[in-house]
Amino acid sequence: MIQQLLPMQISAFERYLQYEKRLSKHTLTAYLGDLKQFFNFLKLSYQIKDIQEIEHFHIRSWLVQLIGEGMTTKTIARKTATLKTYFKFLLRQGHISSNPMVKISTPKVGKKLPVYLQEKEINSLFEKLSLFSSDNFPDIRDQLMLLLLYGTGMRRAELISLETKNIFLNELNLKVLGKGNKERIIPVSPVLKSLIREYLKLRQNEFPEVNDKELLLTDKGKPLYPKFVYNKVKKYLSLITTVEKKSPHTLRHTFATHLSNNGAELNAIKDLLGHSSLAATQIYTHNSIEQLKKIYQKAHPKSGD
Active-site residue (options: 95, 179, 234, 286) = 179
Query: What does the angle CA 44 – CA 30 – CA 103 come to, to the nearest 5 degrees?
Result: 60
Q: Is 252 a catalytic residue?
A: yes
Distance CA 171, CA 194 (A): 13
Sequence-distant (6+) residues with CB within 8 A of 213 are 163, 164, 165
Which of 88, 99, 96 minimizes the C-alpha distance to 2?
96
What HEC string does 81-128 produce? HHHHHHHHHHHHHCCCCCCHHHHCCCCCCCCCCCCCCCHHHHHHHHHH
- Using CA of residue 10, residue 183, residue 222, residue 227, what is the dihedral sign? negative
**179 catalytically annotated:** yes
What does DSSP assign to residue 138? Answer: H
Q: Which of 79, 155, 156, 232 is catalytic?
A: 155
Residue among 252, 251, 284, 279 at smallest CA distance from 265: 284
Among 58, 193, 275, 286, the one annotated catalytic:
275
The alpha carbon of residue 88 and the mean position of all alpha carbons in its chain are separated, in whole angstroms, by 26
284 is a catalytic site residue? yes
- The residue from 156, 252, 253, 270 that is catalytic is 252
Is 26 labeled as catalytic in the residue annotation?
A: no
Is 275 among the residues known to form the active site?
Answer: yes
Q: Which helix (H) or strand (E) element contains residue 168? A: strand 167-168
15 classed as catalytic: no
C-alpha gyration radius of the chain = 24
Q: Which residues are catalytic?
A: 155, 179, 249, 252, 275, 284
